[in-house]
Chains A and B, each alone.
Chain A
Amino acid sequence: MRRLCLNCAYGFLALGVAACLMAALAASCSAQNITVPTSAVAGEPASIAITGSGKATLYILGPGISTKQEVNLGEDLKLRGDALKNAGDYHIVACSDSCHSATFYVSAGKPASLTFLVHPSRVPVSQQDAVSGVAFPFDQFHNLVFTPQTINFQLSAGNASLLNRSVNTQAGVAWFRTSSGKSAGALQVVASLNDFNARRVVQQVASDPCNLRITGQRNAQGILVQTEPVHDCSGNPVPDGTIVSFTATAASGKSTVDAPIKKGVARAEMEATGSAVISGASGVVMGNEVRVGGRP
């Protein structure tokens, strides 16, 4: 806590010193006219004109940059592109006998990459508004491009196109939201801007089992109980590994087996000598009950 306060104090002190420096520079210098670019673009050269004669000290303060250099007044000052890589406000202070300052804005360049976030990475089929994506265009210097851009979102499953929508960015962001499809499998999601594509995959998975049905028959070991092929309500096979809980209730007690679905079917051996009532469930979904008679 004490260390934190000490850090805060140092921060405020540094800010204070910087503010005082700016104020002192502005106050102690006589005025020159500084002409700054009206539309500078990140990474591109720009020029600044400062009226007057003789030499002056020029300070440039911008996002992630602060420089000091001697310049000749009355000449155009060329700013190199690599001095303006970061978009944002730049402050120019020129001091000789007197100081003068000006501010200009450097905007992001042309889009050079597209960052694309898609949520979720897995989604059950037939869910309303379950899939969303957000795209951000950036220029080559990773500045967010605020000028409106048209981004095309395409969703496809297999060979079928599920969505093709063009969206203009607002404040540098474009997004979509849509429902998941009806078939399990990979959902390809592509965002494209000019020649730039970002591809993501959402796994559409089967929903909860539907009409879970079990059968049971007595064998030498006990009772072999198994499900019919397990599907969700859209007809997609429930993924292998999904647990089906079998419960056999007999006079000797209750027996349970949590069996994973393998090749579409869950199967288990239950021990019961007398007649037994067997039920199945998967998660919160209940299946049917079957009655298996005792061993003759």
Chain B
Amino acid sequence: MKFILPIILAIATVVLIGVAFVASGTVVGKTVGIEAGSAMYGLTPKASTPDQALTNLLVDVKRRNWDQAYGEISNPQVATKQQFIQAWTGSYGSLRTFSALEGFELRPMHITNDAAQMRVRLHWTTPIGPLEDVRDFHLAKVGDIWKTVWSKTDVPNVPSQVIPVTYLRWDLVSAAGDDEWGAKNIDAPHVRIISMNPLDFAEGAVVLGEVVNEDTIPAFVNVTATLVDGSGKEIDEETSFDKIDHILLPKQVTPYRIDFPKVNLKNVKNVRMNVKATLVPASADPVIGVMNQKVDPDYQGKSVLRGDLLNESGQTVNIPHVIASLYDNNGKVIWVADGYVEHSLLPQTAAPFEIEIPKNMVPKVSNFHVVVNQYSMGRN
């Protein structure tokens, strides 16, 4: 009697292992909206279908099993193994170098007997939160198995050169010596909120607008908003966090957005704004131009603000961050959108960016202003 329970558990364990073994890495006939992955290491199912071939590749990428992943592409001649790895892991300290593929969803676009096109939604974990990336893959039947046709990616390659830069930066000198009262005061930079617009949004209330540095020195800026109800009680207080370009050079304007999840604007009687500016050392470089900006539909029919970032300086920008103010035809800021660019921006090169615009805002957008925040190793 006392052996019945252990025996049942042992049988159940064996059955579950068997199920996992059979189902590992397969997509079990379904192809749409599947969160894919494999539970069993070292056992890759045969790529008898396009979805299975792509699943195998992505599972190996996820596990960083590069030898196997590289072996699953049909045209290794277009990229060396190192280039293939770099295409997934990023380079030059870009956001991708700090990211990991967490999962993916496959969707077939077009399949024939010997060729297929699949659309994949890749889910990445990154230091700035989860990111999604949508990519199209082509697959070809090679013999009796399917393989992914690797698209050659053009990795920017900057030739060796000397780029003269008129170096401009502000350093902060703290007076030493006696502690005489009044002898050490340097005023904080003067910054001003030039617009503020509270909105009700799908996930809560949003306060957005723009801030200008009116001073002649750089400022580290943070905007805080406090929502107050009819009785004068504080409902919530939040800061702009990363929805702002924190370091503002003289006369520079930045958008800001402060999100209040789960707060209904109907309950808000007053919004208290507070902008804090601190004097910080800063550099006027790099200068990043935002070229060819326009609002277009993307792959999935969503409206995006897209363009190219052009690094006009001589240093690599590791993680560019794009923030855009969207204006209506009265010049009022109606939304602030932002997005990180996963690839680093090499000197004198351009890289594309896209920022999604909420569907309900698209008809109202008349103009936009884009600023580029940047994180460069050793400089921030």
Identify the A interface with B (CB < 8 A).
115-122, 198, 200, 205-206, 208-209, 239-245, 252-260, 262-263, 268-271, 282-285
Contact A258 B287 (CB under 8 A): yes
- Can you identify 27 A-B contacts, CB atoms within 8 angstroms? A121-B187, A122-B187, A122-B215, A200-B183, A239-B250, A240-B284, A241-B168, A241-B170, A241-B218, A242-B216, A245-B253, A254-B292, A254-B293, A254-B294, A255-B290, A255-B291, A255-B292, A255-B293, A256-B289, A256-B370, A257-B287, A258-B372, A263-B166, A269-B312, A270-B289, A283-B212, A284-B212
Q: How many whole Å from B169's CB to the nearest CB in chain A? A: 8
How far is it, in angstroms, between the C-alpha of A121 and the C-alpha of B182 when the chains are bound? 11
How far is it, in angstroms, between the C-alpha of A100 and the C-alpha of B86 when the chains are bound? 93
Among A245, A256, A285: residue with most chain B CB under 10 A = A256
Question: Is residue B371 contacting chain A, with contact meaning CB distance below 8 A?
Answer: yes
Q: A268-B289, A284-B212 are in contact. Are A257 and B194 (CB under 8 A)?
A: no
New A-B pairs, 17, CB < 8 Å, besides A253-B291, A271-B310? A121-B185, A200-B183, A241-B284, A244-B251, A252-B292, A254-B292, A254-B294, A256-B289, A257-B288, A257-B310, A258-B372, A260-B284, A262-B284, A263-B166, A271-B350, A283-B212, A283-B253
* A residues near B168, Cβ cutoff 8 Å: 240-241, 260, 262
Of all chain A residues, the one with the shortest Cβ separation from B167 is: A262
Contact A283 B291 (CB under 8 A): no
Contact B251 A205 (CB under 8 A): no
Question: Is residue B37 contacting chain A, with contact meaning CB distance below 8 A?
Answer: no
Closest 6 pairs between A and B when the two form their complex, measured CB to CB: A283-B251, A253-B294, A260-B284, A257-B289, A117-B182, A253-B292
- Chain A proximity mask over B283-319: 1 for CB below 8 Å, otherwise 0: 0110111111110000000000001101010000000
How far is it, in angstroms, between the C-alpha of A270 and the C-alpha of B312 when the chains are bound? 10
Question: Is residue B217 contacting chain A, with contact meaning CB distance below 8 A?
Answer: yes
* B residues near A257, Cβ cutoff 8 Å: 287-290, 310, 312
Question: Is residue B181 contacting chain A, with contact meaning CB distance below 8 A?
Answer: yes
How far is it, in angstroms, between the C-alpha of A285 and the C-alpha of B212 when the chains are bound? 12
How far is it, in angstroms, between the C-alpha of A210 and the C-alpha of B88 when the chains are bound? 50
Identify the B interface with A (CB < 8 A).
166, 168, 170, 180-183, 185-187, 194, 212-218, 249-253, 284-285, 287-294, 307-308, 310, 312, 350, 368-372
Q: How many whole Å from A271's CB to the nearest CB in chain B? A: 4
* B residues near A259, Cβ cutoff 8 Å: 287
* B residues near A269, Cβ cutoff 8 Å: 289, 310, 312
Of all chain B residues, the one with the shortest Cβ separation from A136 is: B181
Of all chain A residues, the one with the shortest Cβ separation from B249 is: A243
* B residues near A239, Cβ cutoff 8 Å: 216, 250
How far is it, in angstroms, between the C-alpha of A198 and the C-alpha of B368 when the chains are bound? 51
How far is it, in angstroms, between the C-alpha of A284 and the C-alpha of B212 when the chains are bound? 8
Contact A115 B180 (CB under 8 A): yes
* B residues near A254, Cβ cutoff 8 Å: 292-294, 368
* A residues near B292, Cβ cutoff 8 Å: 252-255, 271
Contact of A243 (CB < 8 Å), options: B181, B250, B293? B250
Contact of A270 (CB < 8 Å), options: B250, B288, B291, B370? B291
Among B183, B368, B372: residue with most chain A CB under 10 A = B183
How far is it, in angstroms, between the C-alpha of A269 and the C-alpha of B291 when the chains are bound? 10
Contact of A205 (CB < 8 Å), options: B183, B186, B216? B216
* A residues near B181, Cβ cutoff 8 Å: 115, 117
Q: How many whole Å from B319's CB to the nearest CB in chain A? A: 18
* B residues near A284, Cβ cutoff 8 Å: 194, 212
Among A120, A209, A260: residue with most chain B CB under 10 A = A260
Q: A120-B187, A242-B251, A243-B249 are in contact. Are A200 and B182 (CB under 8 A)?
A: yes
* A residues near B289, Cβ cutoff 8 Å: 255-257, 268-271
Q: How many whole Å from B157's CB to the nearest CB in chain A? A: 18
* A residues near B250, Cβ cutoff 8 Å: 239, 241-243
Of all chain B residues, the one with the shortest Cβ separation from A199 is: B183
Among A115, A198, A205, A262: residue with most chain B CB under 10 A = A262
Of all chain B residues, the one with the shortest Cβ separation from A257 is: B289
Q: How many whole Å from A20's CB to the nearest CB in chain B? A: 39
Q: How many whole Å from B63's CB to the nearest CB in chain A? A: 41
Of all chain A residues, the one with the shortest Cβ separation from B170 is: A241
Of all chain A residues, the one with the shortest Cβ separation from B165 is: A262
How far is it, in angstroms, between the C-alpha of A66 and the C-alpha of B350 when the chains are bound? 76
Q: How many whole Å from B194's CB to the nearest CB in chain A? A: 7
How far is it, in angstroms, between the C-alpha of A252 and the C-alpha of B293 when the chains are bound? 8
* B residues near A117, Cβ cutoff 8 Å: 181-182, 185
* A residues near B214, Cβ cutoff 8 Å: 283
Contact of A122 (CB < 8 Å), options: B166, B217, B372? B217
* A residues near B186, Cβ cutoff 8 Å: 121-122
* B residues near A243, Cβ cutoff 8 Å: 249-252
How far is it, in angstroms, between the C-alpha of A261 and the C-alpha of B44 when the chains are bound? 59
* A residues near B291, Cβ cutoff 8 Å: 253, 255, 270-271
* B residues near A206, Cβ cutoff 8 Å: 216
* A residues near B350, Cβ cutoff 8 Å: 271
* B residues near A208, Cβ cutoff 8 Å: 251
Q: How many whole Å from A72's CB to the nearest CB in chain B? A: 45
* B residues near A245, Cβ cutoff 8 Å: 253
